[in-house]
Amino acid sequence: MAIDDRDRSTSVLPGSNVRKTELGLSREHVYFNGGNQLRVTPARLLWYVTVDKSNALRQLAARSRLIESVLLSPDEAHRRFGHLGVLSLREISQSARKDGLVNVIRFADTELLEPPYARSELRPLFDLHDVKGTIQSTREVSPAMFNDVIISRFGDQK
């Protein structure tokens, strides 16, 4: 997944290095992956970025609001949600799970974390909130962890 914070009007969307100017201006996007369906909606998302166009980043870079998560065939995913994403039908098919389904994560209102969380900052935060496993994965975290991330980057928004 890549988010380019240098040019916000045409952000690179998760899952692609292709720019679509009209998508960069949109509030709503989709991310296609081969993971499990997110069971709780609405929810809040934190985006971990591994690379941008030129180098490895490995940082927690943005937050979004989850609208829905559905499992569909690649054809149906592309037909229903292709206009909100950057992947071709072929790329969506390649990201499908072993059972042939793709998880479509529809999200909106993405904001960059300023500054992003470096990978070295995340492990202590994960340990504090008893989050196990690798950093780069789809997982549920506690509201307290999410709030710690947001308050540290945006301040207390009460």
CATH number of the domain at 64, please: 2.30.130.30
The 10s digit of each residue's pLDDT in 17-39 is 444 444 455 789 999 999 888 87
Residue 6 has pLDDT above 90, yes or no: no
Residue 138: inside a domain: no
Q: What per-residue confidence (pLDDT) applies to 8?
A: 33
**Residue 19 burial by Cβ neighbours in a 10 Å radius (0-12, 13-18, 19+):** middle
DSSP H or E run through 94: helix 89-94
3-class SS of residue 81 = helix
- Give the pTM: 0.75
How large is the average pLDDT for residues 51-69? 83
pLDDT reported for residue 18: 42
pLDDT at 157: 59
140 part of a folded domain: no
What was the pLDDT predicted at 78? 97
Do the strands 56-72 and 102-118 form a parallel or antiparallel pair, or are they unpaired? Answer: antiparallel
Give the model confidence (pLDDT) of 105-149 as tens digits: 999 999 888 888 888 888 888 899 998 877 777 778 888 988 888
Distance, in Å, from the CA atom of 115 to the CA atom of 48, rounded to the nearest integer, reads 13
Q: Looking up tokens 């799970």, which residue turns up?
A: 97
For residue 25, give both structure tokens: 């201006």
Average confidence (pLDDT) over 99-110 = 94
The conformational region for residue 100 under phi > 0 = left, psi -120 to 50 = alpha, else beta, is left
86 assigned to some structural domain: yes
Domain containing residue 72: 8-117
78 lies in some domain: yes
Domains in the chain, number: 1
